Structure 1
Amino acid sequence: MYKYGFGDVSGEFWLGLEKLHAMTRHGRHELLVLLEDFEGNSKYALYDDFTVGSEAEKYKLTVGKCAGSAGNSLARHNGMKFSTMDQNNYPVPGKQNCAIAHKGAWWFEKCYHSVEVQMNDAIKQERA
């Protein structure tokens, strides 16, 4: 499922690890993450380098320097391999499968430090 992508491009959508790898395997690529809350407040993170490794590399995530207002929440996931419920690539062998714990796949560095939580928290903190 994560390998080839899923969803609807006009709504929730995952492009697919194979496509991300094909798009980023040659040259240097930037990644722009745009976040907007339900009240229209927005933040962004711009990474000056972004690659997703091959299937043989377990779709390893590589990100460069970050600029922007959302913070650098991908830094802790840099160099991590992609974990799914049936493929635990957590960096500590024998530890909990974070994809099962979170009910979703990601480049987990630690089970309870996911990018979604950190970026959403950055938006909430500014409003407080």
Structure 2
Amino acid sequence: MNKTETLQLPSSPNSAINVLRRSSWLVIQQRIDNSLSFNQTWEAYKYGFGVYNENFWLGLENIYNLTKSRMYKLRIEVYAQGIWVSDEYDSFEVGSESLNYKLKVSNYSGDNLDIMNYVSSTSQMHNGKVFSTFDRDNSPLQTNPGLKHASGNWFDSYSYAQNLNGPYNQTLQYYMKRFNRLTNAQQCRMMIKLSTSN
């Protein structure tokens, strides 16, 4: 059951944001169709864009403010080739903008594979990487993967194991163990909730 609500940011008592909840999870990214381009600017990824309950990105600054003082879990759900897969991490956080919203996840579980740490001849891990967009290349080698893949993501090269913000039927892809390859996704969502170990 999906519902929208207003959430107080723990680090900013006077700041509140609108959020979408799916059961006990807070949705930070969702794509249900091709009606919204995710090839957005750094500023858009920082503050968020889209329509809740449809296609949207919550905003890196909001995600940072939520995860900086309390431990959150991350769950990723992807629909492709007629099946849903899920990957989950017991710990999820992003750094501040001064750290380019660096991603940190740990303690994987799920029915697919450890997508954020997966490395192969055609993919690089996302864990520990900083965020880049087409107009702000934070990759150490200045390869501008955000421009190459028309996406905002935690990557530092042209290769990836997931690109959930890429364009439909192009680089909106997820590595699926069942098919042993990157697979075009039709729907996806990233969700967080407070860890029970707090």
The TM-score range, normalised by the shorter chain, is 0.7 to 0.9
Which residue in the other structure is 2:143 paired with? 96
* Alpha-carbon distance between aligned partners in 2 of 1:14 and 1:8, rounded to the nearest angstrom: 9
Residues 46-65 of structure 1: pairs in structure 2 closer than 5 A:
46-65=88-107
Q: Does 1:83 align with 2:137?
A: no
Of Structure 1 and Structure 2, which has the larger fraction of its residues in strand? Answer: 2
Q: Equivalent residue of 1:36, what SS? A: strand
Answer yes or no: is the 8 Å Cα contact 2:132–2:154 preserved in 1. yes
* Alpha-carbon distance between aligned partners in 2 of 1:44 and 1:119, rounded to the nearest angstrom: 14
* Alpha-carbon distance between aligned partners in 2 of 1:38 and 1:13, rounded to the nearest angstrom: 22
* Alpha-carbon distance between aligned partners in 1 of 2:115 and 2:172, rounded to the nearest angstrom: 6
Q: Equivalent residue of 2:104, what SS? A: strand
Name the CA shift for 1:108/1:85 in 2 (closer, same or farther; >3 Å): same
Cα deviation, 1:31-60, whole Å, max 9, x if unaligned, reads 011122363x21111101100111111111
Answer yes or no: is the 8 Å Cα contact 1:73–1:119 preserved in 2. no
User: Where does structure 1 lack aligned partners over 5 or more consecutive residues?
Assistant: none
Cα deviation, 1:60-94, whole Å, max 9, x if unaligned, reads 110112111121111211111111112111132xx
Name the CA shift for 1:53/1:30 in 2 (closer, same or farther; >3 Å): same
* Alpha-carbon distance between aligned partners in 2 of 1:118 and 1:70, rounded to the nearest angstrom: 17
* Alpha-carbon distance between aligned partners in 2 of 1:83 and 1:46, rounded to the nearest angstrom: 23
Question: Shift of the alpha carbon at 1:101?
Answer: 0.2
* Alpha-carbon distance between aligned partners in 2 of 1:48 and 1:77, rounded to the nearest angstrom: 16
Name the CA shift for 1:88/1:24 in 2 (closer, same or farther; >3 Å): same
Instruction: Tell me the TM-score normalized by structure 1.
Output: 0.85
Answer yes or no: is the 8 Å Cα contact 2:161–2:175 preserved in 1. no
